[in-house]
Amino acid sequence: MDKPPLALDPNFSGGSEDFPALLRRKGLLQNAPEITGASGGPSFVPTESTTILAFKFSGGVLVAGDRRATAGNTVVYDRADKVLEIDRHSIMAIAGVPATAWEMARVLEHSFQYFRRTQLQEMSVDGKVRALSKLLRDNFGFVMQGVGVVVPIFATYDSNSKPEARLYFYDAMGAQFEVTDYAATGSGSPAVRGILYYENTWGSKKLHDLNEEEAVAIALRALDTAAEADTATGGVDRTGKIFPLIKIVFRDGIVTLPEEKVARIFNDKVA
Phi, psi angle pair for 119, to nearest 5°: -100, -5
Give the count of alpha carbons within 13 A of 105, CB side only: 24
Other beta carbons within 10 Å of 206? 14
Is residue 168 within 8 A of residue 153, CB to CB? The reply is yes
DSSP state letter for 9: -
CB atoms within 10 A of CB 28: 11
Lateral strand order in the sheet of 153-158: 83-87, 90-93, 153-158, 164-170, 176-179
Alpha-carbon span 254 to 168, nearest angstrom: 17
Q: Where are the alpha helices (DSSP H) in 120-211?
A: 125-138, 140-144, 189-202
Q: How far from the centroid of its chain's Cα atoms is residue 150's Cα?
A: 6
Q: Show which residues are catalytic.
A: 50
What is the chain's Cα-based Rg? 21
